[in-house]
Amino acid sequence: MSYEGKDFAAIVQEAVADALGIDVDEAVPEATLLGDLGAESIDLLDILFRVEKQSDVKIKVSDIAELLQGGIPDEEFADEDDVINAVGLAQLKKSLPQIDVEELAGKLTADEVLTLFTVQNLIDLVTERAALATSAA
């Protein structure tokens, strides 16, 4: 599979816009999918399907969860109240460099993590997967 010459940013932004019924210029890289753009879980599946159709890069919701949590077990990622702890926040900072860890400390729950995922995070994930597939070929 050749990914050469594919504009993953444009593919992702177009997929987001089409799935959510918004203008492409609203699908800016810094916009959060579930927060700013109002996507719901079903919309996220639609976006990922559209991205795959246009780019040949398959991303599942579980891939996003894996990226966010970095393989850290739930009990080490969040406390008993489901609030993301220091270990979890450090991992999230790696996968979501745009977040303000100090602002989220002690407040962010596991259910809210996906609301921090931006268009740019998805572009980066698609680009990374394409690069991995290319190097493995």
For residue 133, is pLDDT > 90?
no
Domain 8-136 has CATH 1.10.1200.10: yes
Helix (H) or strand (E) holding 129: helix 119-136
Q: What is the pTM of this model?
A: 0.93
Domain spans, the chain: 8-136
Helices within 5-118 (DSSP H only): 8-20, 41-55, 61-69, 74-77, 86-95, 101-104
Q: Model confidence over 36-51: pLDDT tens digits?
A: 999 999 999 999 999 9
